[in-house]
Amino acid sequence: MMGRGKCADLVDCAALWPGGQISGASALAIAQKLAQPYGITVRASSDAGPVIPQFNLMLGESAFEVIERICRTSALLAYEEPDGNLLLARVGKARAAGALIQGVNVQSARAVYSMDQRYSEYIALLQSVDTLADAGEGGNLLAKAHDPGVQRARTRLIIAEAGSGGQEVAKKRVEWEAARRAGRSSQLCVTTDRWRDASGALWTPNTQIEVRIPAMQTEGNAWVLAEVRYQRNANGTTAELLLMPPNAFTPQPVVLQPYDADIPAFPS
């Protein structure tokens, strides 16, 4: 049997708000306004994010598309809780009690370590055609980031989402690319003999778990739980956990209003 949670309505249905404009609200407040018509409660496990001066809905977007975008600008994750309501949270702030220990509560484990999606250098450019070549590298260059874990030359170019005024976001974007790709290159799947941690709490996504599995080169590292599958069958009760390093879950920085800063939003 398979099913979907209450938040399916946020994913499937339109973002609705009278007038289509929300002013002076945090990511939490905007999410609450958009979830209210569908009977879904939204809470934040930490801060609600900075105040967004003005946000305009785009017709045709689903409620969750909008919520996801505003959460990215506030460095928040948005995901469904067991009761079907929506939670906004920072990456891996909570920590599970106890640990996953080889020979104690780990039945099996497998790891994937990959370098094919990592690059030595990430470069954000103003535009895809270098019409400013005569001005030197600085004419089109916005930001750079490096991954010291990649030993050979591998360069990735990224076209900025905004022009003038977008340098700060471009810098965050290349740093995010480097960190997230490095994080996603390491994945650990662990089968444990229990559904709960040492305190009796169910294994919960976005929780840091200490992993002591020397065979997987993870002695004492804290990994963030991405997915959990609870299983009960003829082989007993087990939980299958998918874990990654914390930087694998850093939200992608985005531009809420991707127009040139020199062009007024509402020309007179």
Between CA 244 and CA 242 the distance in angstroms is: 7
- DSSP reduced 3-state for 80: strand
Q: What is the mean pLDDT of residues 57-85?
A: 91
Which residue from 77, 151, 159 is spatially nearest to 115, judged by alpha carbons? 151
Between CA 200 and CA 92 the distance in angstroms is: 19
What are 144-154's pLDDT values in tens digits? Answer: 999 999 999 99
185 vs 92, residue with greater confidence: 185
Cite the DSSP H helix spans in the chain: 8-12, 27-35, 63-73, 167-184
Q: What is the mean pLDDT of residues 65-78?
A: 91
Burial class (CB in 10 A: 0-12, 13-18, 19+), 145: buried
What are 193-250's pLDDT values in tens digits? Answer: 999 999 999 999 999 999 999 998 887 789 999 999 999 998 899 999 999 999 999 8
What are 79-108's pLDDT values in tens digits? Answer: 999 899 999 999 988 899 999 999 999 999
| Beta strand spans in the chain (E) | 21-25, 42-44, 52-56, 77-80, 86-89, 94-101, 106-113, 121-125, 141-146, 155-159, 186-192, 207-212, 221-233, 236-244
Burial class (CB in 10 A: 0-12, 13-18, 19+), 215: exposed
Contacts of 153 (CB under 8 A, 6+ apart): 120, 121
Give yes or no for residue 67 having a pLDDT over 50. yes
Give yes or no for residue 264 having a pLDDT over 50. no
Between CA 190 and CA 228 the distance in angstroms is: 10
Contacts of 19 (CB under 8 A, 6+ apart): none
Domains of the chain, earliest start first: 6-89 (3.55.50.10), 95-114+185-249 (2.30.300.10), 121-182 (no CATH)
> What is the widest separation between alpha-carbon atoms in the chain?
71
Model's pTM, two decimal places? 0.80
**Residue 254: predicted pLDDT:** 79
Strands 42-44 and 86-89 come out as parallel
Between CA 190 and CA 240 the distance in angstroms is: 6
Q: What is the mean pLDDT of residues 16-24?
A: 88
Mean pLDDT across the chain: 87
Window from 66-70, 81-85, 123-127, 156-160 with minimum mean pLDDT: 123-127
Q: What is the mean pLDDT of residues 14-41?
A: 92
For residue 79, give the amino acid letter.
Y
183 vs 2, residue with greater confidence: 183
